[in-house]
């Protein structure tokens, strides 16, 4: 009997996994740079068209732009190691993420030099996506790469939001926070961006190299104070001196600069919702801009899923029927206390599994749309109703894994990681919590 039930559960897991992966794949397709960029090409100019960029999707964006562009073209973009795409005229440089390295610094300096050499008849096309802040690293005068590496590590461990992290980054940089546009003026500047930040704020995407910066040195100091970061001394001194503030809204350097969003988290969620709806699963998009500690976000998602499973989740006067799926995006954070492996999506799923406590008919996927959860080789993982039970059978305690921040180790042991490799796009986290009907016949399979 035990073996027969195990077989049934294996088949159920396979169907659930297929459904959740189909939703994730639809989200990725909606953020494909090749599909997104063709409708946003600029007009040719009398002078040079120079393409620069940074981010996990920037090489794919450059490749797509190059294929769609018919005139002369040159340029340089920086992407993460392993995320390159072949280009003829645009040079691709790979560098480290999320902690910057010398390759990123050298390429960022060359990008600033390219922009500084442009005139009024030229145009600079900037391709930015998630990861651009770490990759486009050029320390402000008086700072070193080691200074920026040290403060980046502390911020990443602190639980700071991406907006807070980028506020600090902009005020330690010679190229971010509108400074690239200032260097390119009076040339035309067109920024094409794929958003990976909650709210799609242009000033936060890649730390806004070509848009006005509404934040200040005082804001950057407040972020470090909030998270009790007091090192390195050169960073603290630079922020205290507060010299050469970033260009602000209304600055004339942005007079010929334009920003266009070509793909976003909301578009990815809408695509997944369309697939779900077409196969009889009711989609509920919670939000594309959810932030907060991954464990806290997981607790809220679990509570909503349990409410829906109990038949008490209402929209207006109507109770939402099963099967249904909760969809959400954004960027959670993890305050690292242990020494385990894993990113914010595996942390979310560990907490989700613990809160659900093996509740029947609820499964969930959480993945980073760039294909890399944190610094690991997986995009994320999947939780099933029997996740905790199967872990316990191997002697794995979920509480211990949570204490260690070891989501990767937990889900790897169960064979429940989602591995896509680099997707060459990035619209941040994607979460799908599937609430099935009691009757297997009532649960359509997507795909």
Residues 404 and 242: beta-carbon distance below 8 Å? no
What is the average per-residue pLDDT within 135-160?
95
Please give the C-alpha separations between residue 175 and each of 80, 134, 138, 170, in angstroms, as whole numbers. 18, 12, 6, 8
Distance CA(136)–CA(44), nearest Å, equals 26
Residue 134, pLDDT above cutoff 60: yes
Helix (H, G, I), strand (E, B) or coil at 365: strand
Grade residue 439 by pLDDT with cuts at 50, 70 and 90. Answer: low
Residues 90 and 77: beta-carbon distance below 8 Å? yes
Residue 11, pLDDT above cutoff 60: no
Question: What is the enclosing helix (H) or strand (E) of 132?
Answer: helix 132-135
Residues 312 and 355: beta-carbon distance below 8 Å? no
Residue 22, pLDDT above cutoff 80: yes
Helices (H), 31-118: 33-37, 58-68, 102-116
Q: What would the pLDDT profile of 59-118 be if each residue is shown by its tens digit?
A: 999 999 999 999 999 999 999 999 999 999 999 999 999 999 999 999 999 999 999 999
- Percentages helix, strand, coil for the chain, rounded to the nearest 5? 40, 20, 40
- In angstroms, the first-to-last Cα distance of the chain is 31
Strand partners, 7: none
Residue 374, pLDDT above cutoff 90: no
Token pair for residue 57? 């999707």
Does the CA dihedral 219-293-97-204 come out positive or negative?
negative
pLDDT the model gives residue 274: 98
Residues 95 and 101: beta-carbon distance below 8 Å? yes
Distance CA(377)–CA(186), nearest Å, equals 43
Question: What is the enclosing helix (H) or strand (E) of 362?
Answer: strand 362-368
Grade residue 376 by pLDDT with cuts at 50, 70 and 90. Answer: confident
Residues 143 and 243: beta-carbon distance below 8 Å? no
Q: What would the pLDDT profile of 240-261 be if each residue is shown by its tens digit?
A: 999 999 999 999 999 999 999 9
Grade residue 14 by pLDDT with cuts at 50, 70 and 90. Answer: very high
Grade residue 366 by pLDDT with cuts at 50, 70 and 90. Answer: very high
Is omega for the bond preceding 186 within 30 degrees of 0, making it cis? Answer: yes
What is the average per-residue pLDDT within 294-298?
97
What is the average per-residue pLDDT within 112-132?
97
pLDDT the model gives residue 9: 46
pLDDT the model gives residue 447: 60
Grade residue 440 by pLDDT with cuts at 50, 70 and 90. Answer: low
Question: What is the enclosing helix (H) or strand (E) of 282?
Answer: strand 282-293
Grade residue 404 by pLDDT with cuts at 50, 70 and 90. Answer: very high
Residue 353, pLDDT above cutoff 50: yes
Residue 393, pLDDT above cutoff 90: yes
pLDDT the model gives residue 199: 85
Cβ burial of 439 (10 Å; 0-12, 13-18, 19+) is exposed
Grade residue 441 by pLDDT with cuts at 50, 70 and 90. Answer: low
Looking at per-residue confidence, does 7 or 173 come out higher? Answer: 173
What is the average per-residue pLDDT within 325-343?
91
Token pair for residue 258? 């334009």
Strand partners, 91: 76
Residue 232 dihedral angles phi and psi, to the nearest 5°: -80, 160
Residue 4, pLDDT above cutoff 60: no
Please give the C-alpha separations between residue 127 and each of 12, 109, 220, 314, 356, in angstroms, as whole numbers. 42, 16, 25, 42, 41
Average pLDDT across the chain, whole number:
93
Nearest Cα to Cα of residue 388 among 377, 400, 378, 376: 400
pLDDT the model gives residue 8: 37
What percentage of residues in the chain have a pLDDT greater than 90?
86
What is the average per-residue pLDDT within 187-198?
94
Token pair for residue 125? 């096309």
């Amino acid at each position: 009997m035990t073996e027969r039930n195990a077989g049934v559960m294996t088949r159920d897991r396979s169907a659930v996994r297929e459904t959740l992966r189909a939703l994730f794949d639809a989200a990725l397709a909606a953020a494909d740079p090749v599909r997104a960029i063709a409708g946003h090409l600029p007009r040719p100019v009398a002078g040079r068209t120079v393409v620069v960029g940074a981010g996990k999707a920037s090489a794919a964006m450059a490749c797509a732009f190059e294929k769609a562009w018919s005139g002369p073209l040159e340029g340089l973009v920086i992407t993460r190691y392993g995320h390159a795409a072949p280009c003829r005229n645009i040079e691709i440089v790979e560098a480290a993420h999320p902690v910057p390295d010398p390759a990123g610094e050298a390429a960022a300096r060359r990008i600033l030099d390219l922009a500084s050499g442009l005139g009024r008849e030229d145009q600079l096309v900037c391709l930015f996506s998630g990861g651009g802040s770490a990759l486009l690293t050029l320390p402000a005068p008086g700072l070193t790469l080691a200074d920026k590496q040290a403060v980046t590590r502390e911020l990443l461990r602190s639980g700071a939001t991406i907006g807070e992290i980028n506020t600090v980054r902009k005020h330690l940089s010679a190229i971010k926070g509108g400074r690239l546009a200032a260097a390119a003026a009076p040339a035309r500047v067109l920024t094409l961006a794929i958003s990976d930040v909650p709210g799609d704020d242009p000033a936060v995407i890649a730390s806004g190299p070509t848009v006005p910066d509404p934040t200040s040195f005082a804001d950057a100091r407040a972020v470090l104070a909030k998270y009790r970061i007091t090192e390195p001394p050169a960073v603290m001194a630079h922020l205290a001196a507060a010299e050469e503030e970033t260009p602000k809204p209304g600055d004339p350097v942005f007079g010929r600069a334009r920003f266009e969003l070509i793909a976003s988290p909301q578009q990815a969620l809408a695509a997944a919702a369309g697939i779900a709806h077409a196969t009889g699963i009711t989609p509920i998009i919670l939000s594309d801009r959810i932030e907060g500690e991954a464990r806290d976000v997981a607790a809220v998602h679990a509570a909503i899923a349990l409410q829906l499973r109990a038949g008490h989740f209402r929209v207006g006067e109507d109770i939402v029927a099963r099967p249904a799926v909760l969809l959400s995006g954004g960027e959670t954070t993890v305050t690292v206390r242990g020494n385990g492996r894993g990113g914010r999506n595996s942390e979310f799923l560990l907490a989700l599994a613990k809160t659900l406590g093996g509740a029947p008919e609820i499964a969930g996927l959480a993945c980073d749309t760039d294909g890399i959860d944190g610094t690991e080789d997986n995009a994320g993982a999947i939780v099933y109703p029997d996740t905790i039970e199967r872990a316990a059978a191997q002697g794995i305690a979920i509480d211990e894994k949570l204490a260690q921040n070891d989501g990767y180790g937990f889900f790897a042991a169960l064979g429940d990681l989602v591995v896509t490799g680099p997707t060459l796009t990035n619209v941040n986290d994607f979460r799908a919590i599937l609430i099935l009907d009691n009757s297997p016949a009532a649960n359509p399979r997507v795909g």
